[in-house]
Every structure is written in structure tokens, then in C-alpha cells.
Amino acid sequence: MIPYAERAFWLSKSVGGDSKITNKESFDRAAKQLKKDPNELYELPKIRTEYLYLLQWFYSVKSDGPLRFSEIESWARLTNKRPNSKEIEILMKLDSTFLKAQNE
């Protein structure tokens, strides 16, 4: 799951400088010029579908800055989710992966 997240987060990042274009948008443009399927260029690692809910949870709970346990607790209470300790560990790992991708 983490290799998939690393690539997905990198794709959502700006290409650099003052540009508002993301890496994904840049790949989309290249794919159009090359007449290729953009998914061929993204090189997203495989992810087991039963883990996709964790990415959905992450995007739902994520705010600015590092994710805090108190944010997960509040989110869980408001959404009636009951993440177990392993799921919380994965959410925190996704957050550190996201922050690393945004700061590279």
C-alpha cells in the first residue's frame, strides 16, 4: 500500500516552482501528445482493493500539517468509524509518506 501511496502522492504534487500544474497533469499532457493511456505513464504500483478504504479514510481525515491522533479520534467519532490500532498505524504512515512526497 505504501509504494502505491508514495507514487499517488507524488503525482498530486506540483511540478515545482510557481507552477500550479501537478505531476499528474504533466503526465496527462505527455500522454495526450504521445497518444498513450496516461495510466501507462503513472507507473502506479498495484494495491489490493480491500485496502483502498484506508486511502479514502486518509483523505477524509487529512488536514494541513502532520496528522495527529486527536484528529483521527475526532474524525472517527464524527463519522462513526472504529479504526483498529493497525489501521491507525497505517493512517499515520500514509501521513508521513504524504508529507515526505510534498517536501521533496
Q: Dump pLDDT digits (tens) for 26-47.
A: 889 988 988 888 877 778 888 8
Q: What does the pLDDT read at residue 18?
A: 78
User: Please, which residues have CB within 8 angstroms of residue 16's CB and are 6 or more apart in sequence?
Assistant: none
CB atoms within 10 A of CB 17: 7
What is the domain extent for residue 40?
2-11+20-103
Domains held by the chain: number: 1
Q: What does the pLDDT read at residue 14?
A: 87
Positions in the chain whose pLDDT score sits under 70 = none
Q: What does the pLDDT read at residue 73?
A: 97
Q: What does the pLDDT read at residue 88?
A: 97
Q: Identify whether the C-beta of residue 57 lies closer than 8 Å to the C-beta of residue 81.
A: yes
